[in-house]
Amino acid sequence: MRVLRWVLVVAFLAAVLAPAALAQQAAGQESGVVVADVATLTASVEAIDYGKRMVTLKGPEGNMVTVRVGSEVKNFDQIRQGDRVVVEHFESVALFVWQSGDAPSATGVEVVEVARPGEKPAGLVVDTTEITASVEAIDYAKRTVSLKGPQGDIRIIKVGPNVERFDQVKQGDQVVVRHTEALAISVQKQ
């Protein structure tokens, strides 16, 4: 369980600090925008059907849900009625602008970690996607920017008032958007 928390912390730091470092190294770029959010949900195990791999969970407000647990979840037989299921969700979006003539591109990385034999079921999935897009149009008054992605699709993005130097973004600039999402699920004794 400590390993999963450690990996989640590392993923969080990588998602938040690496884009900032990348942005500071980019020619003429001193800062970027990073928005991150973490949510935690705890539920209790109310019932288990080991044969059908079904678990009934009770949420913090008393709502009940029954879920089928896939075969990829190791150590399913370790779950007991009364155990707590803790779900931690982390999401980060980092946005950086620089002048470049490179074509838009997209890359992605996914990391999966599961419990070792004999441990309570636990898992972590970290998914990071980085997309480079070109600025096609800007509406400074409405604070919107139209971005053209690597497959030619256009997406209009609203830019918040906390983004400094928005007035310096120009048509033709390159934008890097790094989206990181991490989901950690663990079963803990009551």
If one compares 189 and 7, the residue with the highest pLDDT of the two is 189
Best-predicted range by mean pLDDT among 46-55, 98-107, 125-134, 146-155?
46-55
Neighbouring residues of 14: CB distance < 8 A, sequence distance ≥ 6: 128, 180
For position 51, what pLDDT does the model report?
Answer: 95
Asked if residues 67 and 185 have their Cβ atoms less than 8 Å apart, the reply is no
Number of domains in the chain: 1
**Residue 32 binned pLDDT confidence (cut-offs 50, 70, 90):** low
Owning domain of residue 102 = 2-188
Residues paired with residue 139 on neighbouring β-strands, in sequence order: 144
* C-alpha closest to that of 153 among 104, 99, 93: 104
> What is the per-residue pLDDT for 23?
39
Query: What is the rounded CA–CA span in Å between residue 187 and residue 190?
Result: 9
Q: Which residue has the higher pLDDT, 74 or 51?
A: 51
Average pLDDT score over the chain: 80
Cβ atoms within 10 Å of 147's Cβ, excluding its own? 22
Give CA–CA dist 182/110, Å, rounded: 10
What tokens appear for 103 in the block?
């074509």
CB 127 within 8 A of CB 110: yes
Q: Is the dihedral of CA 43, 46, 48, 53 positive or negative?
A: negative
Q: What is the mean pLDDT of residues 31-40?
A: 76
pLDDT category, 4, cuts 50, 70, 90? very low
Distance CA 181, CA 89 (A): 7
* pTM score, whole prediction: 0.64
Q: Is residue 136's pLDDT more than 70?
A: yes
* pLDDT at site 33: 67
